[in-house]
Amino acid sequence: MGHALGGGSPVRVFTTQDRWNSLAHKISTMGDFKPEIILEKSGVVAIDPRDPAAVEAVNALPEPCLVTVADHTVMPVIPAFRLLAARLDPRHPVLLKDRLDDACEPPAASLTALLAAATRLGSLLCDGIGDAILVRGEPGPAASLRLAYNILQAAGTRIFKTDYVACPSCGRTLFNLQHTTQKIRAATGHLKGVRIAVMGCIVNGPGEMADADFGYVGGAPGKINLYVGKTPVQFNIPEAAAVTRLIGLIREHGKWLEPPAGSEDNT
Ligand code: SF4
């Protein structure tokens, strides 16, 4: 379907033919949450990773081929895919699925599906396993795609929107962390692949910003320090002006985009 898969390609988002059909009329308007590959057209080979003959047959194939764990394999999802990845020749890309029992269990409620998919797929992606993912525990076709992309983003596998790192807040926090994070998200949520840290104080905040591109850190009561990477570049900005100054800093570093007119909040 025109998307490279495996090797250094981005981790792809699969959907089923049924779900594709139900979304077909609006795929062009789905922005960053479009389905990329239809499961039934992908030629994926499904095997039980405990079956040495099946693994050997796939490993003997002359060309790389997309492989997944077969439905109804009686194993929990995470160990099943870890076993597959351990036994499979690494030239074969792997399709991860959040469930191996799609046909025999009723669809889970959305929150349950979200937690199960995030735990299973997120763990595997953080292990470095997986070249494509399929979320099917979430019953809504569009919601399952949003969930798939959000899992990729949260795992740091495929950054397609702004990423935020915030401290949990404590007695040292120098501003209303939740309110400020929401304000920053509202102003910057449309950017692509920018990571912003929002930290309550300069005592521990800068050390906890991980690999953020920009930092918004409480410097003193009502005053904010701004960082580029781990370097402080602006000090003691009044809180009321700090989000505007942060936007200016993002702009100076060539990472600002004007928000699209009428864009949806997909955060
Ligand atoms: S960064 Fe500062 S305010 Fe935030 S949790 Fe750590 S010590 Fe508390």
Ligand 1 neighbourhood includes 176 CB (under 6 angstroms): no
CA of residue 31 to ligand 1 center, whole Å: 36
| Cα torsion 25, 267, 254, 5: sign | negative
pLDDT at position 262 is 58
Outline where DSSP puts E strands in the chain: 12-15, 37-38, 45-47, 67-69, 95-97, 132-134, 163-166, 195-199, 214-220, 223-228, 231-238
Question: Do 135 and 243 reside in the same domain of the chain?
Answer: no
Question: Do 18 and 101 reside in the same domain of the chain?
Answer: yes
Q: What is the mean pLDDT of residues 1-23?
A: 92
Question: Do 97 and 213 reside in the same domain of the chain?
Answer: no
Strand partners, 163: 195
Question: Do 149 and 172 reside in the same domain of the chain?
Answer: no
Q: pLDDT tens for residues 98-131?
A: 999 864 455 567 888 899 999 999 999 999 999 9
Question: Do 112 and 167 reside in the same domain of the chain?
Answer: no
Q: pLDDT tens for residues 16-41?
A: 999 999 999 988 888 778 899 999 99
Q: Whose CA is nearest to atom 6 of ligand 1?
A: 204
Q: Among all chains, which residue has been given the structure tokens 């699925």?
A: 97
CA of residue 168 to ligand 1 center, whole Å: 7
Question: Do 169 and 78 reside in the same domain of the chain?
Answer: no
pLDDT at position 265 is 46
Among 135, 154, 173, give the residue marking a domain's end: 154
Ligand 1 neighbourhood includes 172 CB (under 6 angstroms): yes
Among 126, 154, 182, give the residue marking a domain's end: 154
Question: Do 79 and 139 reside in the same domain of the chain?
Answer: yes
Question: Do 60 and 140 reside in the same domain of the chain?
Answer: yes
Question: Do 186 and 114 reside in the same domain of the chain?
Answer: no
Q: What is the mean pLDDT of residues 82-102?
A: 94
Domain assignment present for 265: no
Domain assignment present for 126: yes
pLDDT at position 218 is 96
Q: How many domains does the chain have?
A: 2
Among 134, 154, 174, give the residue marking a domain's end: 154
Q: Using CA atoms, how far apart are residues 13 and 35, in angstroms rounded to an integer?
A: 6
> Domain span at residue 16?
12-154
Are 94 and 88 spatial neighbours (Cβ–Cβ below 8 Å)? yes
